[in-house]
Amino acid sequence: MLDLNEEEILPLSLQHTFWTWSAQGSVSPIPVKRAKGVYFWDIHGKRYLDFNSMTMCVNIGHGEQRVIDAIIQQAQELPYVAPAMASKPRALLGKLLAEVTPGDLNRFLFTLGGADANENAIKLARAFSGKHKILARYRSYHGATAGAMAATGDPRRLAWEPNLMGGVVHFLDPYRYRSTFHRTNPDISEEDFCLDYLNHLEEIIQYEGPQTIAAILIETVTGTNGILIPPPGYLQGVRDLCDRYGILLIADEVMSGFGRTGEWFAVQHWGVVPDLMTMAKGLTSAYAPLGAVAMREEIAEFFRERVFQSGLTYTAHPISLAAAIATIQVMQEDHLVEHAAEMGKVLHRLLNDLGEKHPSVGETRSIGLFGAIELVRNRRTRQPLAPFNGTSPEMIAIRQFLLDHGLFLYTHWNILLIIPPLIITEEQLAEGFAILDQALTIADEAVEHSL
Ligand SMILES: Cc1ncc(COP(=O)(O)O)c(C=O)c1O
């Protein structure tokens, strides 16, 4: 195989490739050489603790031999078949997924990742319902293709407007720490807080006309936009509104699925079965690209005599399917969902301790191994350490400190995301938190001491 000197990896990558989500002149990629467990190493031998599972996707951890072997075996046996053909991994993965997904989500349409899973879920919902509008939330990310970007509520959508898919209407998220409706009464009960947001959604349904709304698309637990965990009753309330008004519920579990929250899928915390559920990332733990739309039998049945007018060359790619089968088996054999729930308690405690110690911590949130630290300049006013859709010298300095000290994670405006591989141990969590503890002194210095 063509090879090169390790020192050439970075300059050649910079010279010939075009980088996503970046100005080409300002990228500074880590040249990664290898990865194992919860760590990865750069070409100079520097080790990083991966507190973000790369792109919130390597759920079972790096370098898992059982998945690598399955990929090799599938590549040797049958690396590709046309999407219209049946194959052993297709047969096996469908069966396995039907076992781990809730309710009668028993049919699966395979895609290449999360964005096109959401695109296809929208197509299915529109065709099935005969209606066109999609309601989605502002603090959401659903992918970077035109339809998924239109559904995305966060500012990543704005650069591509107005040439995105039409028919999306956004509504507000039940984000308690920065709740629009409760600035003057932040101590409102959980029940009333939840009700206010369900009433808000119902009002929008009425204004838009339920007869025009195909689906409500939500991240069950909001990911990049800050680990926003729905209050008790919210998800059931959304499900009830969907049932009352004849609207389909699409749960985007691209990030929250596959053990991340301490259940196979986050909807299971609240006993809700969506009509369509999208997944990707943890589905193969990123050992190969794959997404899927799980659908209720009734939706699949609708297409028994009707053609589903869509598809992709790499739909149900056998190598990706083999990676998914092996990933699910690893999760089952090693009880990783249970482990994530257990370690989630440790993460929760570590986050609380950090919050008590550092005045710059406005709020911490977590469910399973899905956590966030929201940094503020002032706990009373809740002024964020970086503005909406922006950054600040302090956030840049914190990120640099963490990288310098071998801790890799994502930051989102004023929020630090903690999304480690599910195999992480208590000691490894503590190791990362010791570095975070030091880094937060940078944030503490920015805290306003006056009222
Ligand atoms: C909740 C959610 N949905 C969809 C996507 C898009 O997935 P992909 O990047 O695989 O297209 C992401 C990616 O981060 C996501 O977090």
Q: Express each pLDDT in 378-395 by its tens digit.
A: 999 999 999 999 999 999
235 CB-near residues (< 8 Å, 6+ apart)? 220, 267, 270, 272
For residue 255, the CA-to-ligand 1 centroid distance in Å is 7
327 CB-near residues (< 8 Å, 6+ apart)? 59, 60, 64, 67, 258, 282, 283, 284, 285, 287
Beta-bridge partner residues of 50: 408
Domains and CATH numbers, the chain: 6-60+335-445 (3.90.1150.10), 66-333 (3.40.640.10)
Q: Is the pLDDT of residue 450 over 80?
A: no
The backbone torsions φ and ψ at residue 301, rounded to the nearest 5 degrees and listed phi first, read -60, -40
The residue-averaged pLDDT of 291-302 equals 98
Q: Express each pLDDT in 250-264 by its tens digit.
A: 999 999 999 999 999
For residue 353 the two structure tokens come to 């301790």
Kindly report the number of other CB atoms within 10 A of residue 232's CB atom.
14
User: What percentage of the chain carries pLDDT values higher than 90?
Assistant: 98
Q: How would you label 379-395 residue by residue, b for 16+ Cβ within 10 Å and e otherwise?
A: eeebebbbeeeeebebb
Q: How confident is the model at residue 451 (pLDDT cuts 50, 70, 90)?
A: low
For residue 191, the CA-to-ligand 1 centroid distance in Å is 30
> CB of 119 closer than 6 A to ligand 1?
no
Nearest CA to ligand 1 atom 3: 142
Q: Express each pLDDT in 206-227 by its tens digit.
A: 999 999 999 999 999 999 999 9
DSSP 367-435: ETTEEEEEEEEETTTTEESS-TT---HHHHHHHHHHHHTTEE--EETTEEEE---TT--HHHHHHHHHH
The backbone torsions φ and ψ at residue 294, rounded to the nearest 5 degrees and listed phi first, read -90, 135
Kindly report the number of other CB atoms within 10 A of residue 263's CB atom.
22
> CB of 288 closer than 6 A to ligand 1?
no
Ligand 1, residue 116: give the atom nearest the CA: 11
pLDDT at 195: 98
Ligand 1, residue 113: give the atom nearest the CA: 10
- The secondary element (H helix, E strand) that includes residue 163 is none
Q: Is-contact 382 362, C-beta < 8 A?
A: yes
Ligand 1, residue 140: give the atom nearest the CA: 1
Q: What is the pTM of this model?
A: 0.98
Ligand 1, residue 222: give the atom nearest the CA: 1
Q: Is-contact 273 242, C-beta < 8 A?
A: no
Q: What mean pLDDT value characterizes the chain?
A: 97
> CB of 57 closer than 6 A to ligand 1?
no
Q: For residue 116, give the amino acid letter.
A: D
DSSP 254-297: TTTTTTTTSSSSGGGGTT---SEEEE-GGGTTTSS--EEEEEEH
> CB of 386 closer than 6 A to ligand 1?
no
For residue 359, the CA-to-ligand 1 centroid distance in Å is 33
- Total number of residues shown for the chain: 451
